[in-house]
Structure formats: C-alpha cells, structure tokens
Chain A
Amino acid sequence: MNSKKRIVIVGATSAIAEHCARLWIQKQPTDLTLVGRDARRIERVTADLRVRSPEVEIRIVQAEFLDPTGIQTAIDSIFALGEVDIVLIAHGSLSEQVESQDNLNACRDTLEINGVSPVLYAEAFAKNMAKVNHGTIALIGSVAGDRGRKSNYVYGAAKGLVTRYAQGLQHRFAGTGVKVVLIKPGPTDTPMTAHLKRKGMKLASVEGVARQIVDGVEAGSAVVYAPGKFRFIMLIISHLPSIIFNKMDV
C-alpha cells in the first residue's frame, strides 16, 4: 500500500468527472484508475492529467457499461492491487426526450446507461469495499431524478433509480467505514447539455460543479446538490401540487 490516495473514476471522459480528476490530482498525490469504454478518448484525458500533475499514477481499465460479468471482473482486478479510497461513478448520456418517446430502443438505452449501469458498477465496488470496511462511493445522479417532468422524464426516471439505490446503499453502510455520496448536478455546461444551451438555458460551470463534488466527497455528505441552490429549487419543485406543476412548461 502506498500513501497516495487511490481514486477510481468510471466514465472518466465525462466533463464533470474529468474536472473532478483535475482537482483531485492537484490537491494530493493520487493513484488514479480510469474506467471507460473508449480507449482513445481515455488516452486524451490521461495525457492531460499527466501534464497537470507529473506525479500522478494513472491506470486505464477498459470495460463495457452493461456487461455484469465484465464489470465484476474489472472491478475485482482493481481491488486486487489494493484498497480504493474513492470511486466516482460518473458515466451517463442525456438523450433527447422525444427520441425516447419515438423509439423504444433509445428509451431502453437511456434507462440502461443512466440507471442500470451505474448501479451495477456501484454494487461491484460495494462488495469489495464492504470486505475491507473502507471507501467512498460517489454516484452522479441528477436533479432530473427528483421529480419527473415532460422534458426529460425517461432520463429522470433512470436518475431516480440511482437516487433510490443510493439511499438503500447509505442505509446498508450506515455506521460503517464505507460512505455513499449521491451527487445531483443541475444543468451544467458540458458537451452533454449543448442542446440545452442552444435553447438559451443558463448553465452552471463545470469547474464550479466539480469543485462542489470534490468538497462534498471529502466531507462525506449524503447528498450534494451542485450548484447548492438546487437543493432549495428542487425542494420547491418536488412539493408543488400537480395542479400547478402540470401547468408549467418545464
């Protein structure tokens, strides 16, 4: 075991995850494992992180997002090298809602990549972390999971699944050395939300969101809204009576 913090990022090419990685490696000596599908895109992220911190140790693990056996093997192999301090499960894909309505394949893909896959990964980490009673599992959910709305309810349903799952995991690990942090970003300025920006929506900066995630993980908060104001916004939206909510164009 070395003294470096061991961090694993699943979906390392997502903009939010990448900015978290940049912050983590600047903060402390880090042993980083990046898990993703596309080796070439991970390589780009790796080169960038190595320039930012020559001391960082980076390993790349290629894995599919929906293959349970492959996921279990990949994660077990990561733990074979030692304990993991933090895992950030960050992959996802925000497709157009209308696509999910028109095409059931798109609907299924959205549910699987944003809902099922993060749970499979988290469960593989939970199993290994439980054995050593150590580690933090950070899951990226979304404010979209707090209340279904017409503009993105399929994506929101998948993220809602992650929310319920994280709650259960927090219950399971309460009082142990394993922490579970659920992160709910609001609309953030990333490639995934470029189409929202085209519609003129005001988006949070990815740097700021990453900063809040890194701080929230460090503090071991149960739920991190990023930006923080969404905690209040979503509190109100979740409690609006349907008679009002259904008249809103959101």
Chain B
Amino acid sequence: MRPVSSWGRLSAHPHQVINLNDPSKVSDLVCNSHHPGVAHGMGRSYGDVCLNPEGTLWLTTGLDHFIAFDDNSGRLVCEAGVLLRDIQRLVIPRGWILPVTPGIQMVTVGGAIANDVHGKNHHVLGSFGDHVQNFTLIRTDGEVIHCKPDEPPGWFAATVGGLGLTGVIVQAEIQLRRVVGPWLDTETVPYDNLDEFFQLADDSEADWEHTVSWIDCISAGGGRGLFMRGKPADVGQRPEPKGRSLSALFVPPVSLVNQLSLHLFNIAYYNLKKWRAGRAIAHYEPFFYPLDNLPEWNRMYGPKGFFQYQSVVPREVGQDAVQAMLKEVARSGEAPFLTVLKTFGNRQPVGMLSFPRPGVTLALDFPNHGERIHKLFERLDAVVSEAEGRIYLAKDARSPRKLFEESYPRLPEFLKYRDPGISSGLSRRLMGS
C-alpha cells in the first residue's frame, strides 16, 4: 500500500498499486488482483474519479507503446498509457494532430477516453471520444471486448466518458486530423462583461477553431475578462520555443493562493494581457497547454489541496446562470484562482456519462478552505441544478449524488455496463458502489 493523490491533492489515502506494463499480462493481473480496483493513469483528474482509497489501482502508465501509425490515413493505434504529449510530438511534424486535446497534455489516452475530455475547439470537433475509432476493454472477469462505436451495442458509449467503470482500456485507435504545422494564428480580445463575452463567442464560432476565455471574478465587480481564440496557421518553418520548465519543488506550508495574491494576480494578468492583446502567431504548446511550463502547479495551493468546480449550463439560461454563479462567488469572499469560461458547440456527446453538452461551461479553482468552501459549492450546485446543468466528474471531489442523478439522464442505461470488480472513490460517492 502507498499513498496516492489526484491532481487536487485533497487526500492521500493508501492504495494497492499494481503496474500494468505488459499488455499480454493485463488480463491476468486485473482478474487476479484484489477487487474492486480502478485504472489509474497520470492522476491528472482533480478529484476521486481516479482514486480507490484502501483498494487497488491498476497503473497504466507502463502501457506506453505505439502500435501502428499510418501516415496516409492519420490512424494511430497505441496502448492506453501513451501520453497525449507524446502523440502530439510524434505526429505534428508529420502533418497530423490530435483533433481534440484538453488543457494539459500529460494525460494518458485511456484517461482521455474514460473522461471524454474536451478542448478549446468543442464547437468544431466535439470531444475526445468523437475521434476514437475503436478500443480494447478488459473486464475483471477476463472478458476482452473490442469496442467500435456501434458494436457490440452500447459498450463504446458506456466506456467513452465511463470513468473507467466498465473495464480497463488497454489500447485504442484514434483518427488524427491534418495540420499544416505547429503554429496557430491567435487573437486575445479583452471584454468588459458577459454580454460582450457571449457576443465574442458567437462571432468567433465560424472562423476560429479554438476559443476560450479567462474571466476575472475578483476585480472590477467581476465579469471582465480576456477572450482568446486561435486557428491553425501556415507560417512555414520557425524556430520552436525552448521548453522552459519551472516546478514548484516543495509544498508551501500555507496556500500561496490567497485574497491578496489573487487580487494582484487578476489585476496584473488582465492588464498585462490587455496590453498585449491583439493578433499573434503562437506555438501550439503554450496555446493549448499554458500551464505545462509549470509542472506541479497544483502544489502552490498548499498541503490542503484545492477544488475545481466546473459546470456546464444550457445556453438559453447560460448567461443568467453564469452571472448568478459569479455573484455567489463574490458574495462568499472566496477567491477562485483560475477561472475559465467557454461555450460548447451545439452537439451531443458520444458517451452516456460524457460531460460536454450544448451550453456554456465555467471552471473555478479554489484552495481548500474546508467548511466555508463547501457552503459556496452548495449554492453553486443550486444554480446549476436550477439551470438543468451538470458538473464535470473529472474535476469533481464533492458533488451530491442527487445533482449527479438528475443531471446525467443516461445513468440508468450506463449502470448495466459497469464492471462489478471496479469501483472508485467517485463511483461509491455518486453511484453507491
């Protein structure tokens, strides 16, 4: 047993960690280890979806081999522990790119499927699962299921976004997308309020593949922010940026994220970026993965860790709901550090428990301040529930079962595909087992 934490560092319970290194031995290990277990990749999900306190974790990072890549069709077959970073670095120089990538590239393919992750281009290309052609699932009874979108019926949709609860994904085939190079034409546009944000989002949908915004919840009454958009650019050969890597080497005894630092940060960030607003050519790494130059940035929240509250609410009520949530945050006196606001495209996700849906998504990071932060979350839950929105389970460590059940309508269908030998902290909290 050894302590394992997820990205939010909210807990460090002991786990029996079993390395899956050899694909031919996965079935044996998964069947014969102590149940229940759950697959664990890079542990970049924030809450308890990748944890199984006092239980077994099947560590998939050793399944890091490519199996085949066809330069002509852009089909990539790889093991489930391959990192998105390694895929991007391999295929971009060869004219291909992952169609969908989340804001961190240090995640495994298996994790990306199990959480059906999304990126800044949801309105154009949907979520990760939309580009998965097939995958192999190993169940804890030894059954091996090769899943394609339609056959065997249900398994694909249950496993994409299925939080690892239907079996262990061991390999997958992904359809990549043509790209001219690693560069993007980007633009940063400051906005003063939510009206302007939604206007910018609508105006950008047709011409810009990637859109995202950072919103300042603290200064100037909240609601102002910076809208960032980008699209692939053919600018020929340029020197690539040197990877800088600063790491928070130690955990500070108290959170460095506090009212004062946040206030200053928000003012500084807004003004710095506003000053540098406008068009620019950017490399894909800093644009897609702005935090990857600061590995282990999650440590700066101190030993108690942090929460991320990410919700999506339907577009029709989106503006009011976002406004209401920002108001609750302001009223609470809690200061979110990173706040991201983004619209999703008008498309339904592949997975039964996939998070993305048409609407607008707001992500708020809070240092763990115990009781009082939970009071705020309850008020935010009320707004989300009222708006008929839902919470992103990959980020969640605390949401109530009732909200989960009412906001994920395909849950009853999903439960039929669960593997009885698999359970996570999250599944016990939200599904009772």
In the bound complex, CA of A197 to CA of B328 (Å): 43
Q: Is the CB of A47 within 8 A of B71?
A: no
In the bound complex, CA of A48 to CA of B66 (Å): 4
Beta-carbon contacts of A164-203 to B below 8 Å, as 1s and 0s? 0000000000000000000000000001001001111000
Task: Check if B415 is an interface residue, CB within 8 A of chain A.
Answer: no
Segment touching A, from B20-28, B160-168, B284-292: B20-28
**Count of interface residues, chain B, beta-carbon cutoff 8 Å:** 19
Task: Check if A27 is an interface residue, CB within 8 A of chain B.
Answer: no
Beta-carbon contacts of B1-20 to A below 8 Å, as 1s and 0s? 11100000000000001010
The prevalent SS among residues of A at the interface is helix
Q: Is the CB of A44 within 8 A of B23?
A: yes
B3 closest partner in A (C-beta) = A200
Distance (whole angstroms) from the CB of B74 to the closest CB of chain A: 13
In the bound complex, CA of A52 to CA of B23 (Å): 19
Q: Is the CB of A191 within 8 A of B65?
A: no
B65 closest partner in A (C-beta) = A48
- Contacting residues of chain B (56-83) with chain A, CB-CB under 8 angstroms: 62, 65-69, 71, 76, 78
Task: Check if B90 is an interface residue, CB within 8 A of chain A.
Answer: yes
Q: Is the CB of B23 within 8 A of A198?
A: no
Contacts of A48 in B (CB 8 A): 65-67
**Supplied contacts A44-B65, A52-B66, A200-B2, 20 more A-B pairs, CB within 8 Å:** A15-B62, A40-B24, A41-B22, A44-B22, A44-B23, A45-B65, A47-B66, A47-B68, A48-B66, A48-B67, A51-B66, A51-B69, A51-B76, A54-B71, A191-B62, A194-B17, A197-B17, A198-B1, A198-B2, A198-B17
Some 21 contacts from A to B, beta carbons below 8 A apart, are A40-B24, A44-B22, A44-B23, A44-B65, A45-B65, A47-B65, A47-B66, A47-B67, A47-B68, A48-B66, A48-B67, A51-B67, A51-B68, A51-B90, A52-B66, A191-B19, A194-B17, A197-B2, A198-B1, A198-B17, A200-B2
Beta-carbon contacts of A44-62 to B below 8 Å, as 1s and 0s? 1101100110100000000
A191 closest partner in B (C-beta) = B21
Most chain B beta-carbon neighbours within 10 Å: one of A41, A45, A51, A200: A51
- Contacting residues of chain A (1-58) with chain B, CB-CB under 8 angstroms: 15, 40-41, 44-45, 47-48, 51-52, 54
In the bound complex, CA of A40 to CA of B67 (Å): 13
In the bound complex, CA of A45 to CA of B62 (Å): 12
Q: Is the CB of B67 within 8 A of A194?
A: no
Beta-carbon contacts of A74-114 to B below 8 Å, as 1s and 0s? 00000000000000000000000000000000000000000
